[in-house]
Structure 1
Amino acid sequence: MKIIITGATSFIGQNLIRRLIKEGHFVYAVVRPNSMKAKELLVSSQIKVVELEMHEYTKLDEKINEMCDVYFSLAWEGTRSAERDNHNLQKRNFECSTAALKSIKNLGCHLILSAGSQAEYGLCDDYVKETSIADPVTWYGKYKLKYFLKTTDFCNQNNIAFKEPRFFSLYGPDDFKGTMIFSILDKMLKNESCDLTECKQMWDFLYIDDAIEALISLMERPCEDGIYNLGSGDSRSLREYIEEMYSLSGSNSKLNFGSVPYPATGMVNVMPDIAKLKRQVGFVPKTTFAEGIKRIILEMKGHN
């Protein structure tokens, strides 16, 4: 198949491209002009790099100019920290992403998959199902949800299949080095003290290879349109996860649980119900948290 991916240099994008190439697909990898990260993409006759700013996504059909099969919408700026509440940035993401839809239709794509987020649900104290009420509290979550609704309408009107995998907490060796897992492991490997909240919140981590397997299944297998929660199904306290990291790293760090207060918004739980994903495409995560952490530790030690 011919597949278009915006956000091709992202954590998800790069791992997805490697898998698609391995399976024999041809990928149009959409990147920013002069992107330094574009050099990290595979060198292959099965990849064509397309340089466009987000506001130029209306030109996707001009740049690609041949019929394609599938569109992965992965580009979205300001997904971390304070930028999630940058209204203008999140609004621009929404506008640029929705503006691309006409080009995708013109290119003949019969399926769209977009990267959703648990932020679309808002604050939840229990397991989250796809049918749970969406009540986002950040502009990031609000505009992600708005994009989902807009794209759903567009696809219904144009007979295009649309699935939104909603990611909760992905991790893996080549992830952004400022994540909680990387920053804490870095301290653990240096035997430095780790200042933490009480870590009573419930969490769920999904290894990147399993996430890519889920995306491929949603692309290839017959399944319902709509939202799919992507998680491991292994929801437990964040403290348990951190103590497992501590054990695997062989660290002598002091774990200062409770030394960091929770934000004013309160404790956030991340507990995806993945029953729909299992039922629709037979999804079964293969990588345990321990196995994933061991791979990250090996990478970190190799770079020291």
Structure 2
Amino acid sequence: MIVVTGAAGFISSCLVSRLNQANFNDIVVVDNFSVAKKENNLKGKKVKEFVDRDTFFEWLDKNYEEVEFIFHLGARTDTTEFNKDVFDLLNLNYSKKVWNACCEYQIPLVYASSAATYGSGTLGYNDDESIIPLLKPLNPYGDSKNDFDIWALEQTAKPFFWAGLKFFNVYGPNEYHKGKMASVIFHAYNQIKEKGSMKLFRSHHPDFADGEQMRDFVYVKDVVDVCMFLMQHRKNSGIYNLGSGKARTFMALALNTFEAMGVEPNIEFMDTPENLRDNYQYFTEANMNKLRSIGYDKPFYTLEEGVKDYVQNYLMPAEYIN
């Protein structure tokens, strides 16, 4: 059996699909299972068992001998949430329990970290584990992810294989439930569909023109392919960046969305909310050399390829097909 936590969410549900495509059907999905996410994101998936996240460790104590691998992708991901207790409970302490269980039962583990750990990027975006204790995230979400990375590296007891993945700006199908935390592509599509235009944040940094803020946008299909590779690789434990390796502008993202929809571009700018300005990242770009060095050689989707596939094959049809 393969366990996927946060399984009704965005990346995890896409991973369940990818596992099914590879004929892995004994999948145990763990989540709090809100009705909407379960009915939409897990609809049609081949799943062995649904386990509530609050009873997962009791379930694991009884079934660990059958568990081959754990993908721990469940987390609170709201970067605008500032209640540290929420992140301590769901991101830090729950992840520690998963780690300790994997150590006790010798189960290999892949877990979700985040590029939010890099903060403003003053130390760069290299997944060198020696700089992780020096990173200064810009919000409690990033702190929670970095705190766990630091804790994991400090442990003497480790799963025989483990990997933490610093996800950059992931986009793709099954993110509709994320609200304001969904990708800019998702929001752009809906704005264009409704109004024929879309809005981007105006730059408040002298080095960046409006719309020229840059992010490493990575398509979720690449993310789950890397997860599959690590499950099959099971060596070279450590913390890895997971982005496309190429920063692109929000303007390029917007123009590609218009093109994929067959609509003439109409872009307006609005001020970045004042409460976000001090914590706004103007540039992120994953250094992907570490993952490449252990044998992952599949090319990543370009922004053009990913946006076209997402918009035309998932957002524009009446129903998601994944």
TM-score normalised to the size of structure 1? 0.86
- State the 1:128 CA deviation: 0.7
Q: Distance in 1 between matches of 2:142 and 2:315?
A: 32
Asked whether the equivalents of residues 102 and 159 of structure 2 are also in contact (C-alpha less than 8 Å), the reply is no
Residue number in structure 1 paired with 2:311: 297
The CA RMSD over aligned residues, in Å, is 2.6
- State the 1:81 CA deviation: 4.1
Residue number in structure 1 paired with 2:119: 122
Residue number in structure 2 paired with 1:251: 263
Q: How many residues align?
A: 296
Q: Distance in 2 between matches of 1:4 and 1:266?
A: 34
Residue number in structure 1 paired with 2:42: 41
Residue number in structure 2 paired with 1:235: 247
Q: Within 5 A, what are the aligned runs for 1:271-282? A: 271-282=285-296
Could you list the runs of 5+ residues in structure 1 that have no partner in the other structure? none
- State the 1:147 CA deviation: 1.7
Q: Within 5 A, what are the aligned runs for 1:1-304? A: 2-25=1-24, 26-32=26-32, 35-39=35-39, 40-41=41-42, 47-54=47-54, 56-62=55-61, 64-77=63-76, 79-83=77-81, 85-93=82-90, 94-109=92-107, 111-124=108-121, 127-131=124-128, 132=131, 133-154=134-155, 156-176=156-176, 178=179, 179=182, 180-196=184-200, 197=202, 198-252=210-264, 254-257=266-269, 259-261=270-272, 263-265=276-278, 267-268=280-281, 269-298=283-312, 299-303=314-318
Aligned-residue sequence identity (percent) comes to 22
Which SS does the other structure have where 2:120 is aligned?
Answer: coil
TM-score normalised to the size of structure 2? 0.81
Asked whether the equivalents of residues 161 and 234 of structure 2 are also in contact (C-alpha less than 8 Å), the reply is no
Q: 1:90 to 1:65 in 2, by over 3 A?
A: same
Q: Distance in 1 between matches of 2:243 and 2:235?
A: 18
Could you list the runs of 5+ residues in structure 2 that have no partner in the other structure? 203-209
- AA aligned to 1:130 is D
Which SS does the other structure have where 1:5 is aligned?
Answer: strand
Residue number in structure 1 paired with 2:205: none
Asked whether the equivalents of residues 214 and 283 of structure 1 are also in contact (C-alpha less than 8 Å), the reply is no
Which SS does the other structure have where 1:115 is aligned?
Answer: strand
- AA aligned to 1:273 is N
Q: Distance in 2 between matches of 1:33 and 1:107?
A: 26
Tell me the alpha carbon deviations over residues 100-155 of structure 1, each in whole angstroms, 9 at most, x when there is no partner.
3343344441x11101101111111585100254211211111112222333444x
